[in-house]
Chains A and B, each alone.
Chain A
Amino acid sequence: MYDDFANPWTIRLKWSYLLLVVVALLSPVFYIVYISFNEHGFSARIYEFTFDWYRVVLSDTILVSSLSWTVYLAVTAVAVTIPMALLSAKFYKRSRRKVAFVALMLSPLFVPADIMGSSLLVFFKNLSGAFSWLDSVLGVNWFDGWFDLGFLTALIGQIIYTHPYAFIVILITMSRYRNQQTEAARACGATAWQAFWQVEFPQIRVGVFSSCAFVTILSFNEAVRTALLKGGFDTFSNVLVAQMLNIGMSGESYAMAGIMSIVSITVIGSIIVYTLVRAERLERKARAMAEPVMSI
């Protein structure tokens, strides 16, 4: 909304404040990346550019194996969370008790990491205890090891964490979609799945892909829940937390933090740039679609 009477300098001042906040939120991270390329580390008086810290990190076999766990976890989290978020969004659209449903789906946002992690940890330990008790009662070993802390429990923790975000992003994209199109497809003879895949999905694809990226990044960055629920393995951020707490700020931890930031900035930054570049065109198209011309 424009205001023709507003003082242009006030507007400019407000814009600068907005940009200042964005920069202030980001600059510590950029500073860390900057330090991570200094051979002498933090607070040295001289700055000599080097990749050495990154070389050290990437030659550390523990770190590299933790990186593969991280990727493994992120990929499975995306593979489970996104279809589930699509189901939830579709369910929400049809459901007539929307408030109760959305409260259940979004409340994980409001439960802090350490609290949720502790609750799930104790829950899983009890569950696995209950299953082995069941085994001993029945004299079998069907349930042996179900919900022992490990990859599955860490994955569940991450799904609970990432699902609300994916759900919201997909729901926002879907709010522009008109359900009459699904019905039209059904009237043309499409099954429910065909109508979704051939008519609805192409129109919400952008939202689904960006939620994939969000879930990847959230999973990649997650440390607390995973640390509590992972059992025997370590993810990259788990190792970084341990480093920070035990060794403090070493050149290596700067490099690790640098890797994490660069990955996030690259993935999310490219999505933002892509969105900004395409937004104008999409906007015009969407407007044209939403309001058909009313005359011949």
Chain B
Amino acid sequence: MKTLLCVCLLLTLSSAVWAQTFKGTQVGNDTDNTSPDLKAFTERTRQQVKALQEAINMISSPKTPVEDKQMAIEQTLGMFMKGSTIQVSGVKNPKRVNAYSLNEYLQNLSLLGKRYKVVEMRVYKPAKIADFVKNPDGTWSGNATYFQDFSAITTAGATLHDRVAKRIETWLKKEKDAFTNQEDWMLVLGNISVVEVNEVPVN
């Protein structure tokens, strides 16, 4: 319950900060007065990725009650652009990568508790954030690479351990704030690809 509160707080704070106005700054030749504060959003990306990793850990944990998992899934989906896709490496063949809708992935993640008695996902390296690039429609997009250490014990007692690097799209777009009724830049997450998978030998 304590974990749920922490994760919900993180996700809620993430959503709340989206609504903050970041005033335009001049960065290189590719921005103007109406551009977002890219430096501020780089830091925001770091926080969002951290919140996402916390949520994934919670959704996948067999200890989390079902209702809490569903709440966390809803909150997580709210951080993403609709229709986002996620690549997932196979358990039996890590080289084989499949693509799923984000909702499908999170729902599958919440069911891991049926096959595993222990699931733990932790961060093993700080996320690496790329610069934002301006898109033809006026939005901006960037990337963040995050690193997950996955360890699990199956109900049969077998241990699995691997480390995965994933890369996520980050989008900045102008949206009307529900409270101020003004258009502000907001950070939304997008598609996620698998960058690398390394199996960790089990002692």
Physical interaction between A and B: no
Q: Which residues of B contact A (CB under 8 A)?
A: none
Q: Which residues of A contact B (CB under 8 A)?
A: none
